[in-house]
Structure 1
Amino acid sequence: MDLGLADAQGEPVVPERLIFADDGRIPNSRLATLAFRSRGVNPVLDREAIAARFETLFSANDWRPSWRGGVYDYHHYHSIAHEAFGVLSGWGKLRLGGEQGEDVELRTGDALVLPAGTGHCHLEASDDFLLLAAYPEDQRELDLLRADPAEHDAAVARIARVTRPTHDPLGGETARWWS
């Protein structure tokens, strides 16, 4: 409740679902990118308290918190893991889906789930923009691929083997969003 990501019954908020086509350089995914919008973070929480809430929430749903930082300012994707972000502070605008994709603005308390293969790139952000990244427990390794047609087909094959976690990082069943 402190992150504004649950409804009155304690269920995760319904995410925006975004699907991006394969552009021949970035495979993207037939699974939807999930943007969970915070309804408002408890104002008494500072950045460290928000981070602790996200770490607890992600861990409880078998998504391993990994690092804090921003997003690279070039188009890239991961072919062997799904990735989740929790916004700890500030705001940032990302382009998702490759060069012809969609710009998405994230704010403190929002969470984003990028299925394996989904392109993402930093466009602009506030000075205090900070993310916590997490990955499903069974996806311990992470690759970093740029938009490169020469890598495309091998990446598509790897993406097809990435398992789907039972739950999204907020506790909803991924089958509900990724059917």
Structure 2
Amino acid sequence: MEAKTVGIEQIKVQDDGTFPNSRFPALLYKDVLDIPVLFKAAHVKNQFEKNGWSNSWDAGIFEYHHYHSVTHEVLGVYKGQTTLQLGGPNGQKVFIEKADVLVIPAGVAHKNLGDESGVSVVGAYFGGRDYDMNYGRPGERPATDENIKKVPVPANDPVYGRDKGLFKIWK
């Protein structure tokens, strides 16, 4: 799968006291995936795996605020559209649709403001890392803050490998 050449939007979200968020911006790649007619999810999964992002899943996006403290996450949209909220209840709204990719740094809360089944994505994690689920509940921090500090910057961008993308932006 060849990725289209696009700009990468950087979305910065700060700690809001409940959700740690990240010093790294979330990265939105608009219309970057060339989605085939057949085997759409497998195609996106293969693109991510080629660049070292695996432990993938294929589903919608949860309709509640949550974040991962032990890994960064990538979402590749292969069907539908929705608006996500990044950073918690007062965070930024981001519209995603078919062919978009969103890289979510460890600690960044995300929530689907639409219907979970209105969008289909492949999610994956650099190096096939396991992920945890955190919801901004009392007692999660400071342990999740310590986890986030230990998550390395990925060696490869999920779309472009080492050519550009997060590899250069997150340095």
Structures share fold, TM-score greater than 0.5: yes
**Which structure's residues are more often strand, by fraction?**
1
RMSD of aligned alpha carbons = 2.0
State the secondary structure of the residue aligned to 1:93. strand
Map 1:1-179 onto structure 2 (within 5 A). Answer: 5-7=3-5, 13-38=6-31, 41=34, 45-46=36-37, 48-125=38-115, 128-137=118-127, 139=129, 141-171=130-160, 172=164, 174-179=166-171
Normalised TM-score (structure 1): 0.85
Offset at 1:173?
5.1
Normalised TM-score (structure 2): 0.89
Offset at 1:165?
0.9
State the secondary structure of the residue aligned to 1:30. coil
Gaps of 5+ in 2: none
Tell me the percent identity. Answer: 33
Q: Is the 8 A contact 2:45 2:56 kept in 1?
A: no
When the two structures are aligned, how many residues end up with a matched partner? Answer: 168
Instruction: Supply the AA of the counterpart residue of 2:105.
Output: P
Query: Separation in 2 of the partners of 1:35 and 1:142?
Result: 21
Query: Separation in 2 of the partners of 1:173 and 1:15?
Result: 7
Query: Separation in 2 of the partners of 1:62 and 1:175?
Result: 12
Q: State which drifts further: 120-129 or 21-30.
A: 120-129
